[in-house]
């Protein structure tokens, strides 16, 4: 589903990715681990074409994501749900509107929005927060809202970039369980983290990164 | 589909305006200031226009005829002058009227009146007073008086003098002042409008800068450019509409006060002017406000959209 071929990213004074090659199959749950600055976030941004590589290619199925025009890029991003460490919710919109916005973006009707939003909020246990703004919610709740937004349009891939970085262990556990549930339902998940506990509780394929290189991939070592 | 999208964009614009609270009102304030500057300029132009017209009205050229010049020849000249495109108005004063006016003017000047009485006859000739449409056109009229046309009309012999050449210096100077005032007025207008536009643009840019992150998030969620940009453009238009209403409301009592207290000084009743040109001013402000708001938003957001 995702193919990295000798991808490099060099900033003025630092190398973020150094000749990365790996593939992710459809339906996989891949955890990417490494210290801060190991290149995990740059890796996820490559898939979204939020960063351009200095060398190599990134394919999403048969699409070279860095050769897409603006309009097609928008279409690609609609097939990918993204969850960030800092949630990146729209602060002047309520929980309901945050999700509705993602649905409006893909052109869903008002009826679909009205029936789907409460449903997905129930899925992440936020039914009681429908009309609250993000700043009225706890970190765990905000992250669950972000996940709800990421899955609302049934994406083929979920990218979760340090989704538990700002959360306590209880909330971390909940988020991991939700992501596993999503993966069980058939959605591919790429999760980046520096938390050993998270990887152990996921217990799936792990790619370990250091200084922009993949130093271990459990897929190959198994 | 497009209608639904438009409805959503408009709704989101209003919601954003409401929820941005003080930031929205700060932008409205700045647009209001810009529109107030534009209104002030409209008023200043009106005052300037009115004063210049009054000054222009005081300028004229008088053609004095010899005593005993036959009236039918004078009338012939009058009608040919009236046919000139530059001429706005020609008024005839007969010798008798001229004498009467002279006597009225010097009614307290006893020696002059006595001298006049002693002469017995009317020593004054008739005269024509010519007003041009533009101050700059007096020279053409004076030239016409000197030209061959006059010989054809047979008028050259009856003309005593034309006072254009005595007035030439004043007329020329006035002409310079009027065109200078108009040019200066235009320049000041231009500078003020540009300055306030830049300030408005920067304020709106700041309000959008606050939403910079959100714009990025919207794009990552898969929103199209128009879906992200639309609500901001609507917000910009709302700034313009509200600022127009506030500006019109401010100038209502302001012009009423000016009308009551400053009409003599300005030479024009601002309140009457405001009421009589209300819809024109309203249209100019609304259009400027909305265009300013929308264009500023459009330019400001472009930077964050092209990622």
* Beta carbons of B63 and B75 less than 8 angstroms apart: no
Query: Which is it for strands A29-33 and A188-193: parallel, antiparallel or unpaired?
Result: parallel
Percent of chain B residues past pLDDT 70, beyond the cut: 94
Q: How many CA atoms lie within 13 A of A198 on its CB side?
A: 30
The answer to whether B6 faces chain A, any CB pair under 8 Å, is: no
Predicted pLDDT of residue A123: 85
List, in order of start, the domains of chain A with CATH numbers: 1-79+156-222 (3.40.50.300), 89-154 (no CATH)
Q: What is the mean pLDDT of chain A?
A: 89
Question: Cβ of B221 and A82 within 8 Å?
Answer: yes
Give residue-wise pLDDT tens across range B125-149.
Answer: 888 888 888 777 777 777 777 765 6
Backbone Cα Rg of chain A: 17
Predicted pLDDT of residue B1: 64
Tokens of B152: 């054809």
Identify which has the larger pLDDT, B53 or B92.
B92
List, in order of start, the domains of chain B with CATH numbers: 2-55+175-305 (no CATH), 67-157 (3.30.70.3040)
Predicted pLDDT of residue B79: 82
Identify which has the larger pLDDT, B10 or B160.
B10
pTM over 0.80: no
Distance from CA of B13 to the nearest CA of A (A): 12
- Helices B164-210 and B138-146: crossing angle, nearest 10°? 160
> Of B214, B221, B307, which is closest to A149 when you measure between CB atoms?
B221
Residues of chain B contacting residue A149, judged by C-beta atoms under 8 Å apart: 221
Which of B183, B244, B251 shows the shortest CA–CA distance to B45? B183
* Continuous segment of H or E residues that includes residue B91: strand B87-93
Question: How many angstroms separate the most distant Cα atoms in chain B?
Answer: 105
Percent of chain B residues past pLDDT 90, beyond the cut: 16
Question: DSSP code of B268?
Answer: S
Predicted pLDDT of residue A39: 87
Mutate to test the interface with A, among B8, B13, B16, B221 (most CBs of A within 10 A): B221
Residue A104 makes CB contacts below 8 A (sequence gap 6+) with A113, B5, B8, B223, B227
Bridge partner list, A3: A23, A59
Q: Is B61 helix (H, G, I), strand (E, B) or coil?
A: strand
Is residue B245 over pLDDT 80?
yes
* Continuous segment of H or E residues that includes residue B23: helix B22-58
> Beta strands of B25-73 (E only): which ranges?
61-65
Distance from CA of A137 to the nearest CA of B (A): 18
Backbone Cα Rg of chain B: 31
Nearest CA in chain A to B306: A70
Predicted pLDDT of residue B305: 81
**DSSP codes of every residue in chain A:** -EEEEEEEEE-SS-EEEEEEEEEE-TT-EEEEE--TTSSHHHHHHHHTTSS--SEEEEEETTEEGGG--HHHHHHHHTTEEEEETT----TTS-HHHHHHHHHHHTT--HHHHHHHHHHHHHHTT-GGGTT--GGGS-HHHHHHHHHHHHHTT--SEEEEESTTTTS-HHHHHHHHHHHHHHHHTT-EEEEEES-HHHHHHH-SEEEEEETTEEEEEHHHH-
Which of B165, B144, B169 shows the shortest CA–CA distance to B155? B144
Which of A6, A17, A9 shows the shortest CA–CA distance to A211? A17
Predicted pLDDT of residue B241: 95
* Beta carbons of B240 and B294 less than 8 angstroms apart: yes
Question: Cβ of B214 and A90 within 8 Å?
Answer: yes
* Beta carbons of A49 and A66 less than 8 angstroms apart: yes
Predicted pLDDT of residue A86: 86
* Beta carbons of A57 and A5 less than 8 angstroms apart: yes
Predicted pLDDT of residue B279: 93
How large is the average pLDDT for residues B214-241? Answer: 88
> Of A74, A88, A106, which is closest to B217 when you measure between CB atoms?
A88
**DSSP codes of every residue in B114-174:** HHHHHH-S--PPPEEEEEESSGGGHHHHHHHHHSTHHHHHT-TTTEEEETHHHHHHHHHHH
Percent of chain A residues past pLDDT 90, beyond the cut: 38
Predicted pLDDT of residue A29: 93
Bridge partner list, B62: B129
Identify which has the larger pLDDT, A58 or B106.
A58
Residues 158-217 of chain B whose Cβ lies under 8 A from any Cβ of chain A:
213-214, 216-217
Between CA B96 and CA A50 the distance in angstroms is: 95
Is residue B252 over pLDDT 70?
yes
Predicted pLDDT of residue B182: 79
Predicted pLDDT of residue A222: 52
Exposure of B199 by Cβ count < 10 A (0-12 exposed, 13-18 middle, 19+ buried)? middle
Is residue A38 over pLDDT 60?
yes
Give residue-wise pLDDT tens across range A156-177.
Answer: 999 999 888 888 888 888 889 8
How large is the average pLDDT for residues A40-52? Answer: 90
Percent of chain A residues past pLDDT 70, beyond the cut: 99
How far does Cα A188 stand from its chain's mean position?
A: 10
How large is the average pLDDT for residues A189-218? Answer: 89
Question: Cβ of A88 and B227 within 8 Å?
Answer: no
Give residue-wise pLDDT tens across range B146-168.
Answer: 765 665 566 667 777 777 766 77
Distance from CA of A95 to the nearest CA of B (A): 15
């Amino acid at each position: 589903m995702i193919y990295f071929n000798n991808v490099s990213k060099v900033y003025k004074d630092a190398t973020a990715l150094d000749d990365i090659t790996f593939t992710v199959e459809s339906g996989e749950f891949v955890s990417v681990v490494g210290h801060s600055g190991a290149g995990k976030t740059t890796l996820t941004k490559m898939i979204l074409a939020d960063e351009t590589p200095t060398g190599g290619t990134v394919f999403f199925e048969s699409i070279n994501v860095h050769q897409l025009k603006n309009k097609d890029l928008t279409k690609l991003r609609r097939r990918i749900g993204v969850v960030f460490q800092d949630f990146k919710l729209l602060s002047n919109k309520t929980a309901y509107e945050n999700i509705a916005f993602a649905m409006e973006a893909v052109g869903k009707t008002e009826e679909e929005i009205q029936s789907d939003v409460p449903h997905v909020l129930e899925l992440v246990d936020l039914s009681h927060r429908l009309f609250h703004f993000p700043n009225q919610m706890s970190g765990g709740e905000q992250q669950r809202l972000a996940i709800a937004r990421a899955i609302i349009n049934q994406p083929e891939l979920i990218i979760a970039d340090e989704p538990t970085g700002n959360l306590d262990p209880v909330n971390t556990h909940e988020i991991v369980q939700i992501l596993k549930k999503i993966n069980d339902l058939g959605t591919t998940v790429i999760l980046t983290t520096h938390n050993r506990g998270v990887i152990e509780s996921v217990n799936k394929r792990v790619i370990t990164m250091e200084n922009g290189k993949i130093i271990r991939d459990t897929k190959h070592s198994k | 589909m497009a209608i639904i999208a438009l409805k959503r964009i408009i709704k989101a614009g209003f919601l954003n305006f409401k929820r941005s609270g003080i930031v929205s009102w700060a932008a409205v304030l700045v647009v209001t200031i810009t529109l107030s500057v534009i209104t002030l300029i409209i008023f200043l132009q009106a005052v300037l226009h009115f004063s210049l017209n009054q000054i222009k009205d005081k300028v004229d050229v008088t053609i004095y005829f010899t005593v005993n010049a036959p009236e039918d020849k004078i009338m012939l000249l009058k009608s040919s002058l009236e046919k000139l495109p530059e001429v706005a108005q020609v008024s005839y004063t007969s010798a008798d009227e001229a004498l009467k006016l002279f006597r009225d003017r010097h009614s307290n000047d006893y020696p002059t009146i006595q001298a006049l009485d002693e002469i017995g006859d009317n020593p004054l000739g008739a005269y024509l007073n010519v007003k041009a449409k533009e101050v700059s056109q007096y020279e053409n009229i004076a030239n016409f008086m000197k030209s061959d046309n006059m010989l054809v009309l047979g008028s050259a012999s009856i003309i005593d003098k034309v006072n254009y050449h005595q007035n030439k210096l004043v007329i020329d100077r006035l002409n310079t002042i009027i065109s200078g005032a108009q040019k200066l007025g235009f320049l000041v207008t231009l500078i003020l409008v540009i300055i306030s536009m830049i300030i408005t643009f920067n304020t709106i840019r700041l309000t959008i800068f606050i939403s910079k992150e959100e714009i990025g998030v919207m794009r990552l969620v898969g929103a199209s450019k128009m879906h992200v940009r639309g609500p901001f453009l609507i917000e910009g238009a709302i700034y313009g509409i509200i600022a127009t209403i506030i500006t019109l409301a401010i100038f209502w009592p302001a012009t009423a006060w000016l009308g009551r207290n400053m009409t003599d000084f300005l030479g024009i009743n601002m309140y009457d002017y405001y009421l009589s040109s209300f819809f024109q001013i309203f249209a100019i402000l609304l259009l400027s406000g909305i265009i300013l708001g929308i264009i500023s938003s459009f330019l400001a957001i472009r930077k964050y959209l092209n990622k």
